[in-house]
Chain A
Amino acid sequence: MTTTPAIDIDRLNVTYGDFHAVKDLSFQVEQGELYALLGTNGAGKTSTLEVVEGHRKASSGTVRVLGKSPGDRRAVRPRMGIMLQESGFSPDLTVAESVRLIGRLSGRTDSERRVLGVVDLTAKADTRVSQLSGGEKRRLDFATAVYGRPELIFLDEPTTGLDIQSRDALWEAVEQLRHDGSTVVLTTHYLEEAQQRADRIGLMHRGTFRHEGTVAELTRTLPAAIQFSLRPGAPAPLVQAGPGPDGSYLIETFELQSDLKQLLDWAHAHEVELLGLSAAPTRLDDVFRAIDAEPVPA
Chain B
Amino acid sequence: MLSIARSELTQILRNRAVLITSLIMPVAVAAFFIRFRETFGQIGSLGYIGAVIVFTIAAFSLYATTVTTLAARRQDLFLKRLRSTAASDASILTGLVLPISAISMVQVAVILGVFAGLSDGPADIPLLVLGVVATFVMMLALGLATAGITNSPEHAQVTSLPLTLGVVAVTSWVGITGTQDLTLLKRLLPGGAATELIVNAWNGGVPLGDSLVLLAPTLAWVVVAVALALRMFRWEPRH
Contact = CB atoms under 8 A, between A and B. Distances in A.
A73 interface: yes
A74 interface: yes
Contact of A77 (B15, B85, B236): B85
A107 B3 CA distance: 12
A278 interface: no
Contact of A102 (B11, B14, B81, B88): B81
A88 B7 contact: no
A84 interface: yes
Which of B76, B81, B82 counts the most A-chain CB atoms under 10 A from its CB? Answer: B81
Contacts of B155: none
Interface string B13-24: 011000000000
A78 B86 contact: yes
Main DSSP-derived SS at the B contact region = helix
Interface in B65-101: 73, 76-88
B92 to A, nearest CB: 9
Contact of B77 (A86, A92, A93): A86
Contact of B85 (A87, A89, A91, A107): A107
B80 A88 contact: yes
A105 B87 contact: yes
B177 interface: no
A105 B80 CA distance: 13
Interface string A138-155: 000000000000000000
Instruction: Assign chain A's interface to a size class.
Output: 20 to 34
A132 to B, nearest CB: 13
Contacts of B4: 101, 105
Given A92-B14, A92-B15, A101-B4, A55 B81 contact: no
Contacts of A93: 7, 10-11, 14
Interface string A107-143: 1000000000000000000001000000000000000
Contact of B3 (A74, A86, A101): A101
Given A97-B10, A104-B3, A89 B78 contact: yes
Interface of A: 53, 55, 73-74, 77-78, 82, 84, 86-93, 97, 100-102, 104-107, 128
Given A73-B86, A90-B76, 8 more contacts: A55-B84, A73-B88, A84-B80, A84-B84, A88-B78, A102-B82, A105-B82, A107-B86
